[in-house]
Chains A and B, each alone.
Chain A
Amino acid sequence: MRVMVFVKATEDSEKGLPPTEDMTAMFEAMGKFNEELVAAGVMVDGDGLKPSSAGKRIAFDGPSRAVIDGPFAETRELVAGYWVWEVKDMDEAVAWAKRCPNPMPGPSELEIRPFYEMADFGDAMTPELAEREQKLREKLGGE
């Protein structure tokens, strides 16, 4: 299964701090962890994101679209980086996540979210439903 692992933002990550000695050590540990993920065939993708001050939001309400400039207030809900991992199950994802060095100077959090897969729909996904879904995708401008 494929999971996305979010590195949640902290006040420090939102400040976009210049590299300190602590951070150099963390980067080194993170580099080693990433190498382990690659060697185990788990790593599919991953990167870090700039603080939300560099970001924008587009708010939808009916036909209207409002653009909101960052930074955004609710730090704990923001994302500072992500991985995409291919693992057998959530247990394996959790086991890998526990091995991750703390990505932040203070307390921080990772969040693991599995991707939807066709198999998740099981028998509920009849051929008719699948076709309807595909037609919907096409209507939504899939192609």
Chain B
Amino acid sequence: MSAAMLASRTIFADKAGMAADETHRAIEAVFRIERARLIAGLARVVRDVDRAEELAQDALIVALAEWPVRGVPGNPGAWLMAAAKRRAIDGIRHDAMRTRKHAEIARELDGESDMSAEALEAALDDPLGDELLGLIFAACHPVISPEARAALTLRLVGGLTALEIARAFLSNEAAIAARITRAKKAIATAGVAFEVPRGAELAGRLGSVLEVVYLIFNEGYAATAGPSLVRPPLCAEAQRLGRILAGLMPEEPEVLGLLALMEIQASRLAARAGPDGRFVPLTEQKRARWDQLLIRRGLNLLARVEALGGADGPYALQAALAACHARARTAADTDWTQIAGLYDRLGQVMPSPVVELNRAVAHSMAFGPEAGLRLVDAIADAAALRNYAPLPAARGDFLLRAGRYAEAKAQFEAAAGLSANERERDFLLARAAVCAGSSGG
């Protein structure tokens, strides 16, 4: 065999390998699109997330064997569901054969029949359409800790692997896998239904879902640890979840409010870290780098929230605050009077010392440093703000602007003493030095 023939044969083999690889990737991409809905539909009937995940995975294996030969079916979602269904029914028949005796005894004891293969088939054919939403509500059930809810939601709905989730949260794979397993067990133990709660229960459970989505977003937006200030992929994952929720619950103002808040905050991701990786505060960001597409989406969502009468929801108000900054062409154009008014309302629907502190800052910008000082004095003794550097830093800023340099200097120094962040400390000490210079001492 000549070298040329050998070479051409190798190329041919590579090409065939590449084609097979491409087909596999294409099938996996189709599967990823369907995966969450598949698991949701299966979990609802087999009442076991683990089993549902397994069945979905089995369906992928069947697809990988059959689609390269027969082509991708016209409705791949229905095809995969049918394949998973066959596996589920086979499994039940198999179990039934093995444990018929046990099952009969159990049935007599319980007085109710086990789910038969026929009943399962009927349930799987039932097109309720809100399976995915039911899965999200189950994964975000309050019986699970918020961190575990976030991991489980990213796994089941986002389709991330334990390793990917671990990377995103700067944890290790084993810890995340264990967290997911515990969460699944908690759902099973509590007998959580894979359904959207109705009536009075909905509001509380929806709050739990939104909390998880915003937790994922914030982990990306204000990374609590690690070398980088922001982790955009985690933000994107949260935005996608938010968009799914908004698509499924288009009449829920707080769902739209949270999405509006995330879209507008995410519009600043590129501007938030300076060239040296340092945090750039809002007022100093290059506004040309803000993502106008996301801002427009956020503003449109906010308009819909207002039309639905939900402008006073906590997420809607935070989105409205973010929108005030988004609308200002320059930092000097910021409408601080409107921001102060929004903080007044937010302080009523979501009272917290941190909101009060932000409210004081907004009032100082809108009505002068004295207004800020009055509000900040009212919360000076709040336990939550003890040893909280931003409190003396804000007070120092008000005092400096009011020309009370010696007092301002003491506040900046106190803030620097409380700050754990070196760059922030340098910044505060520099401000203290400005006060010293201005007072002539």
Contacts and interface: CB of A to CB of B under 8 A. Distances in A.
B29 interface: yes
Contacts of A41: 239-244, 247
The secondary-structure label for the interface of chain A is helix
Interface string B339-351: 0000000000000
A42 B174 CA distance: 30
B288 A143 contact: yes
A142 B329 CA distance: 12
A86 B240 contact: yes
Interface in A27-86: 35, 38-45, 84, 86
B71 to A, nearest CB: 11
Contacts of B33: 40, 92, 95-96
Interface in A114-135: 118, 127-128, 130-131, 134
Contacts of A89: 29
Interface centre among B32, B72, B248 (most CB of A within 10 A): B32
A88 B154 CA distance: 13
A83 to B, nearest CB: 12
Contact of B275 (A45, A92, A131): A131
Contact of A127 (B26, B270, B277): B277
Contacts of B288: 137, 142-143
Contact of A91 (B26, B244, B297): B26
B297 A44 contact: yes
Contacts of B327: none
B174 to A, nearest CB: 24
A127 B227 CA distance: 14
A134 B286 contact: yes
B25 interface: yes
Contact of A88 (B32, B132, B242): B32
Contacts of A131: 275-276
B392 to A, nearest CB: 32
Nearest to A92: B29
Contacts of B240: 41-42, 86
Interface string A91-103: 1101110100000
A127 B275 contact: yes
A84 B289 contact: no
Interface of A: 35, 38-45, 84, 86, 88-89, 91-92, 94-96, 98, 118, 127-128, 130-131, 134, 137-138, 142-143
Interface of B: 25-26, 28-30, 32-33, 72, 132, 159, 236, 239-244, 247-248, 270, 275-277, 286-289, 293, 297
22 contacts: A39-B132, A40-B33, A40-B247, A41-B239, A43-B243, A84-B293, A91-B25, A91-B26, A91-B28, A91-B29, A92-B32, A94-B29, A95-B26, A95-B29, A95-B32, A127-B275, A131-B275, A134-B275, A134-B286, A142-B289, A143-B287, A143-B288
